[in-house]
Chain A
Amino acid sequence: MSSALWPHLVEGVTHVVRRPLRSFLTAVTCAVAIAVTVNVISLNYGLDEDIRNDIARFGRLTIDVGRSPLIRPGAARAVFGEPELAKIRALVDGLDAVVVPLRSEQVTATGDAEAARTVLAAVTPDYPRTLDIDMAAGRWFGADEHGFSVCVLDRSAARSLFPGPASAEAAWSARSALGRRVRFTGGEGREAVVVGVLSDPMTYRSLFESFDEGRGSRTLVGALLSFRSAYVPADAIPSPDLTMVHVKLPDEARLETARRRLETVWPASSDAIRPDVIAPVTVFTRKTWMDAAGNVTQTGAFLGNLVWILICLVACIMISTLNLVTIRERYDELAVRRCEGARKSHLVAQVTAEGLTISVVGGLMGLPLGYLGAEVLRRIVSFPFRFDPRYAAVAVGVAAFLGLVSSVVPARRAAGLDPAAVLTRRVT
């Protein structure tokens, strides 16, 4: 930096202090914009990141083969049973795959309370390996346990069935469901002891479920992903008919091989709404679904950015206009500096340094303001705000950018004036 420029930068910063009220008011405008920016970024990217983490726990290396979720009245129901299971085992032979057949029913479960629309899933002891979730309490059932002797509950199912006293709602523990008995509709003797509770991969379940109007329109297979299931040993539902077969692969390379092999027999499930091309049995690769869902949340976060960009743009327009108005009273001062030998670039630097100082100070004021605002909103709307120092850094960067952009135009205009014309009052 040239030594001639330095005094002008110092002068710019000093001018901020010389006009404390006006500088403070401009900084407040900037602070409010940054507070909104911090809030929106925390919400957007916090949500996006959490949803991605949640989705990642649904078993990225698992492939599901089963009937496609297509309602086709009058058409014959696709055959999907033991012969298909044998075919799948043969296709993934040599890939160290874990193959888990699943039979499921939609039932009403009753513990201390009743839980309608519970998915009763009969699976082998290998089922947890198809997911990336830990046990919240207890254990999974073993190969020596059969029928309705034992069951494992998803955490949210356990909480619905054994809610405990209302006064201790916040302190609910998954352990409280262990050893309790659950009855299932659909036949006599369908009663099992809870031996384990599976963790819930969904961070924002309560927020999601309070507005989940589409629950009733999800199929059993779709409902499995909402993690409100009860799992029992495979022979508890002795039907030859299978709902689905899960295939867990050890790594992405073998996942790709398995996917290719399976898709030689059954086509991939398509997310396009084309009933005429959907096959009765399809191959669903969770990795593909996760990547697609991740892209949707990323798009949502991107669109959410429009809010803070709009607010910053509004702040920028107003501060620019304000600077254009206020710079007029300093034409004399700037003209004198030009006469003293200051170059145009020096004046631009001086005014820009002033704007930058105010906006960065405003930005720093905006961080605690944003935090306070988020706390208030969190209490009212239960929004899951998540703060991260990176977001604060982005917000301060935005503040600096705001200051730069809003002072450059007025600075260039002031620097471009003819000092003689200003001092002889031909320009005001």
Chain B
Amino acid sequence: MRFLENVRLSLRRLRHRPVRSFLLLQGTIWGVAVSLFPTAVMEGTRQAVTTRGSEIGADRITLALDPTTSAPKPLLEEDVEAVRAALLAAGTPAIALGAVAVTRPGLAQPESAILPAALLVGAPEACEARGLTIARGRLPREGANGPPEVVVEGLLGDALDATGVPALGAALALPDGRTGTVVGVLATRTPLQRRTNDLGFDTEHAVFRGVTGKLLANLGVPFGDDAWKRTDRCAYAAGHGAAVDWAFLRVAPTDVRAAAKTADRTLQARGKAAVLFYPPVYPLVMNRELDRFKTVSLALFLACLVMGGVVMANVGLLAALRRAPEVALHRVEGATRSDVATQFLAEGFVLSVAGVVTGWALACGLAQVRIAFEPMAGMTWAFPWPEAFVTLVVSVVIGVLACLLPAMRAAAQDPVEALADE
């Protein structure tokens, strides 16, 4: 009861000098914030990869032939099948794997007609490998009599519907000059998904356009003439060709790194120089090795907290001096030395809790700002409860310890002397 009374008294003091208390709590506030916000981003992204991996593209790998090598050997369907077998043998099986040859519309083709941004001919599994799902109809079948069967992406399906004729069953002029029949429409992707490239970056994000994209180019990462991938207006037809332009692979998000290595080795062994694209940030974030870098946040947290604790001790020492008459009166009224000490310690407790709670709010704000500057489309943040609890405990312990010396000084004062001085 006595403790609660002291807490109430401390809260009253905090309300009495809110600005000064806020300024003195800067160490705790920033210490908690700088230690929590990187963890919030890391844990939020880990959760997103685990629970929404397919939605954010954390489970996809795209393969193409290296455009800079001397005398390259073409990428064939059998190479892709060899990758499938190798993945299975390595214990990281493909959820879906499809290779396609891409035909883009020619310049002579009429712009007014509803024309797919690209025709992808290959295994229908490529749709699933790209993370696309059927919304209406079915996937195309190969070898059917008559015009080729095609499945169209969401926005192209919408455009066909807008002509007044239902997309399903409609005849569609294809970039290779043929006319196909639409047998399926894929679900429309979200605007963010449509802006995301094979490396997982939002291609319209200012940071990607200004910094990240240039950095990747400087590191020797090729860029593809692949804007069609982000139109949501492509058509897929089943078929087999000699060479393939792109291969799309989907594996469990936690297997991406290992699967990419297996695919790379398999293609190299077959004499093919390939480049493999997957969002590099997700495996990096999932890498537990990264946890040791939390030490840096921890060091900053402790540095801030030590500063905050020392300032609290300093102010406490002064308060013990200034409040000597008040303490003496308490003593005369019957308060024991331990009551006086508890009052000072309770103030340290209340100040620390106030600092930590403000620090949590600041950490959430910083995490939000960090995400706003992040061009990686699937990065997000989540409040890290376990770490937040640790910051609370550590801050309160340091805050109370900081008030120990002033509490002992205040408790040791002789009430008679203090009142006589006054």
Chain A residues with a Cβ under 8 A of chain B: 21-22, 25-26, 28-29, 32-33, 35-36, 39, 66-75, 77, 103-108, 116-117, 185-186, 210-211, 213-214, 216-226, 237, 239, 241-244, 271-273, 275-276, 289, 292-293, 296, 299, 307, 310-311, 314-315, 317-322, 324-326, 329, 373, 376-377, 380-381, 383
Contacts and interface: CB of A to CB of B under 8 A. Distances in A.
Contacts of A223: 220
Contacts of A276: 225
A105 B227 CA distance: 28
Contacts of B264: 116-117, 216
Given A242-B70, A318-B308, A322-B315, A275 B292 contact: no
Contacts of A216: 260-261, 264, 275-276, 278
Contacts of B225: 70-73, 75, 275-276
Given A35-B303, A70-B67, A74-B245, A214 B292 contact: no
Given A318-B23, A319-B311, A381-B295, A289 B218 contact: yes
Contacts of B216: 214
A327 to B, nearest CB: 10
A236 B269 CA distance: 19
B275 A219 contact: yes
B282 to A, nearest CB: 9
Interface of B: 20, 23-24, 26-27, 30, 34, 64-72, 101-104, 199, 203, 209, 211, 213-227, 245-246, 257, 260-261, 264-265, 268-269, 271, 273, 275-278, 280-281, 283-284, 287, 289-290, 292-293, 295-296, 299-300, 303-304, 306-308, 310-311, 313-315, 317-318, 321-322
A186 B315 CA distance: 74
B248 to A, nearest CB: 13
Contacts of A220: 66, 68-69, 273
Contact of A222 (B219, B269, B283, B317): B219
A26 B199 CA distance: 49
B311 to A, nearest CB: 5
Given A272-B214, A322-B311, 17 more contacts: A39-B299, A106-B268, A107-B268, A116-B261, A116-B268, A213-B280, A219-B221, A220-B69, A221-B220, A226-B220, A239-B71, A242-B70, A292-B218, A314-B26, A314-B304, A321-B24, A322-B24
B211 A296 contact: yes
A293 B218 contact: yes
A243 B225 CA distance: 20
15 contacts: A29-B307, A66-B68, A69-B68, A69-B223, A73-B64, A73-B225, A103-B70, A104-B70, A105-B69, A108-B268, A217-B199, A218-B275, A296-B215, A317-B23, A318-B26
A9 to B, nearest CB: 23
B271 A186 contact: yes
Contact of A218 (B219, B293, B303, B307): B219
A21 B67 contact: no
